[in-house]
């Protein structure tokens, strides 16, 4: 039967910056903000009036405004200014910058050198629109204290000094800090509460290491605290707990799967809906007043729905529809008229191309554990005995979703099936699945990846002689581990900023409250002989002499986790043993490749590497590096 191979999608089309991305509506419902590239291809914040074409760039970032799974920017409640969180060359020291939209002025509200703010745990409230609470390590670089920032004057005052075991705090509607969250020395967690600033802190919830709990915020009256909790359960559900009595009421749960996205309106402080992701996203609408909205929205597009932004009156929603085979599409939902207004897709140039299908899959690991994941199938071919790229996700305490991924689509467009398993230790599938990954770096977690390849071969999808492993962060570690521990399974491996030594990964982790306790519990304690032996066994660095397959190894020079010396040891071992490797350093990058030219350069090397070793298609690179890239390259041996 003849096949029809889709045209090669140009790399700059697939990997170019989104044209407009991550829109939010102003609290007064009059304006729209979004991320878009400037003339230098740096993602900046843009603003326009809804219903008008008066778009203007309002930020002055020298590096793309980051979006690493948390919010990259936010509106001040008066709708007259926007805050965002740039770092310097990927050093992860994020600062709070405030953009005055009327004066076209940008201020750094946390200008201390070497100080870090975590954007996703800053707090604001419409009841106190001129204030922000932000975790900052001003007093002690190893401790995140809580500071109160006056958004009018820029004055910053220490609110709470960290006692040493608090990861972050939660304020009520009036911006009174009444909840703290931290990890215990045993690797569990503890939530403490207080009635007001004069009252003593007391423990409300204390968990065992195998349990999960996460505060989401207070109710409007401050009497209840919303939580994501697995206490007494296998899966994480959403509950409300009475501050005084400790009584708990369940709000949303789903058998076999964890609660993920949660909608809480900032003014009403009501918990409106909870999302779960068994494969496609499913919503449980807990506010009866919104059920008609969700039912109507489900008819607009065949994609997974998210409400990304709402005005304070709750009359306008910005809604995103995501699907892996097309760009993200955004609509304005007018609640009163129950009507939808299409805004834009984030990558309109991709609308004319045929993208690859992504299928949910599941298989059994060798010990019987059920593993869910996704298989991306290249267009125009029957997925039978074709080259396969195994793509373990980062984290590892995260997961893959049914969503668009430009890098996965590029690899599939070049002729490869891509398999993304949510191996043990991934989130979303309950505590049994999460705990099965504890202390299993390079061991059972790696076995799950090997078993994914076996599944694809047994299903006649993958050619066993043409399998690559490619990942970033933890996925990059897994690629190195695959090259070192199971070299006969893979034809080649690609690692972006993955740890070579689990021991140094723990040592170089940020020194903030609880992180070491979590590492000791979930990964292992280097100070315990049995754990230390296990961590050495799971570290590719100490098995570098076993690597016999071609390796593409890539590093951001400013990655604060610091791996350059270890990478050079691995490359030296490969060279000594007569192997082949390509070693690339981007000196102006951190853990994430944020500069478009560097990302294009990296992926051009990925597709050329795969084409030479697995036989897929490749768009030529046109030179030693992509124009504007900072790549420094060392090649060992002949990669073929």
Rounded to an integer, the average pLDDT of 400-425 is 97
What separation in angstroms does the CA of 483 have from each of 42, 492, 510, 547, 556? 35, 7, 28, 5, 21
At 434, is the secondary structure helix, strand, or coil? Answer: helix
User: Residue 69 — very low, low, confident or very high, per pLDDT cuts 50/70/90?
Assistant: very low
pLDDT tens digits, 416-471? 999 999 999 999 999 999 999 999 999 999 999 999 999 999 999 999 999 999 99
pLDDT tens digits, 96-142? 999 999 999 999 999 999 999 988 889 999 999 999 999 999 999 88
The one-character DSSP state at 208 is: -
User: Residue 510 — very low, low, confident or very high, per pLDDT cuts 50/70/90?
Assistant: confident
Q: For strands 339-345 and 326-334, give the pairing.
A: antiparallel
Rounded to an integer, the average pLDDT of 152-180 is 95
Q: What is the pLDDT of residue 70?
A: 45
Q: What is the pLDDT of residue 68?
A: 46
Residues that are catalytic: 473, 559, 591
Rounded to an integer, the average pLDDT of 168-184 is 95
Give me 456's structure tokens.
């694809």
pLDDT tens digits, 346-369? 999 999 999 999 999 999 999 999
pLDDT tens digits, 593-627? 988 899 999 999 999 999 999 999 999 988 889 99
Closest CA to 50 of 24, 29, 79: 29
**Is residue 156 left, alpha or beta, with left meaning phi > 0 and alpha meaning psi from -120 to 50?**
beta
Give me 518's structure tokens.
């979590």
Q: Give the percent of the chain with pLDDT over 70.
A: 98
Q: Cα 280–285–288 angle (5° rounding)? A: 155
Q: What is the pLDDT of residue 1?
A: 37
Query: 510: buried, middle or exposed (CB in 10 Å: 19+, 13-18, 0-12)?
Result: middle
Q: Is the peptide bond before 254 cis (omega within 30 degrees of 0)?
A: no
User: Residue 90 — very low, low, confident or very high, per pLDDT cuts 50/70/90?
Assistant: confident
What are the residue ranges spanned by the domains of the chain?
Answer: 163-272, 351-636
State the number of CA atoms in the 13 A half-sphere of 42 facing the CB: 15
Give the CATH architecture of domain 351-636. Answer: 3-Layer(aba) Sandwich (3.40)
Q: What is the mean pLDDT of the chain?
A: 93
């Amino acid at each position: 039967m003849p096949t029809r191979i889709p045209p090669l999608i140009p790399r700059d089309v697939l990997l170019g910056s989104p044209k407009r991305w991550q829109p939010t509506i102003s609290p007064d419902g009059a304006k729209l903000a979004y991320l878009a590239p400037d003339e230098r291809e740096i993602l900046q914040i843009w603003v326009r009036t809804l219903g008008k074409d008066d778009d203007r760039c309002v930020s002055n970032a020298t590096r793309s405004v980051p979006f690493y799974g948390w919010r990259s920017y936010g509106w001040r409640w008066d709708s007259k200014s926007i805050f965002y969180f740039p770092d310097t060359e990927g050093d992860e020291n994020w600062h709070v910058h405030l953009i005055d939209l009327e004066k076209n002025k940008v201020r750094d509200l946390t200008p201390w050198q070497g100080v870090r703010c975590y954007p996703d745990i800053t707090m604001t409230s419409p009841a106190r629109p001129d204030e922000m609470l932000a975790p900052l390590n001003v007093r002690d670089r190893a401790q995140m204290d809580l500071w109160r920032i006056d958004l009018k004057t820029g004055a910053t005052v220490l609110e709470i000094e960290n006692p040493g075991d608090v990861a972050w705090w939660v304020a009520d509607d009036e911006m009174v800090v009444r909840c703290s969250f931290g990890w215990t020395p045993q690797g569990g967690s503890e939530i403490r509460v207080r009635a007001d600033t004069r009252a003593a802190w007391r423990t409300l919830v204390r968990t065992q290491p195998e349990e999960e709990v996460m505060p989401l915020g207070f109710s409007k009256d401050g009497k209840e605290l919303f939580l994501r909790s697995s206490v007494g359960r296998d899966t994480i559900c959403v509950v409300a707990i009475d501050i005084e009595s400790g009584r708990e009421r369940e709000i949303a749960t789903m058998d076999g799967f964890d609660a993920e996205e949660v909608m809480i309106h900032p003014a009403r402080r009501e918990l409106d809906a909870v999302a779960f992701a068994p494969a496609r996203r499913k919503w449980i609408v807990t506010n009866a007043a919104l059920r008609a909205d969700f039912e109507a929205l489900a008819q607009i597009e065949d994609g997974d729905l998210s409400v990304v932004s709402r005005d304070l009156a709750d009359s306008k929603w910005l809604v995103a529809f995501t699907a892996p085979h097309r760009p993200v599409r955004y609509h304005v939902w007018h609640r009163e008229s129950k009507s939808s207004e299409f805004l834009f897709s984030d990558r309109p140039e991709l609308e004319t191309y045929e993208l690859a299908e992504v299928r949910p899959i599941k298989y059994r690991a060798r010990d019987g554990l059920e593993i869910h994941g996704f298989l991306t199938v290249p267009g125009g071919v029957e997925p039978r005995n074709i080259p396969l790229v195994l793509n373990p996700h980062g984290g590892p305490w995260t997961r893959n979703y049914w969503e668009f991924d430009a890098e996965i689509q590029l690899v599939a467009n070049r002729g490869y099936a891509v398999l993304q398993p949510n191996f043990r230790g991934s989130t979303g599938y309950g505590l049994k699945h999460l705990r099965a990954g504890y202390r299993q770096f390079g061991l059972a977690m790696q076995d799950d990846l090997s078993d994914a390849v076996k599944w694809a071969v047994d299903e006649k999808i993958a050619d066993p002689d043409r399998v690559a492993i490619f990942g970033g962060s933890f996925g990059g570690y897994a690629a190195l581990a695959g090259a070192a521990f199971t070299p006969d399974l893979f034809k080649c491996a690609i690692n972006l900023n993955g740890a070579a030594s689990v021991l140094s990964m723990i040592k170089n982790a940020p020194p903030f409250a609880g992180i070491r306790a979590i590492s000791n519990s979930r990964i292992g304690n280097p100070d315990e002989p049995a754990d230390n032996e296990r961590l050495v066994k799971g570290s590719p660095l100490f098995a570098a002499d076993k690597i016999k397959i071609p390796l593409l190894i890539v590093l951001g020079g400013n990655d604060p986790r610091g791996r350059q010396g270890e990478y050079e040891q691995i490359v030296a071992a490969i060279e000594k043993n007569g192997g082949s490797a390509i070693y690339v350093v981007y000196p102006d990058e951190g853990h994430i490749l944020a500069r478009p030219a560097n990302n294009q350069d990296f992926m051009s090397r990925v597709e050329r590497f795969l084409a030479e070793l697995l036989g897929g298609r490749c768009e030529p690179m046109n030179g030693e590096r992509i124009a504007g890239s900072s790549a420094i390259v060392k090649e060992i041996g002949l990669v073929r």
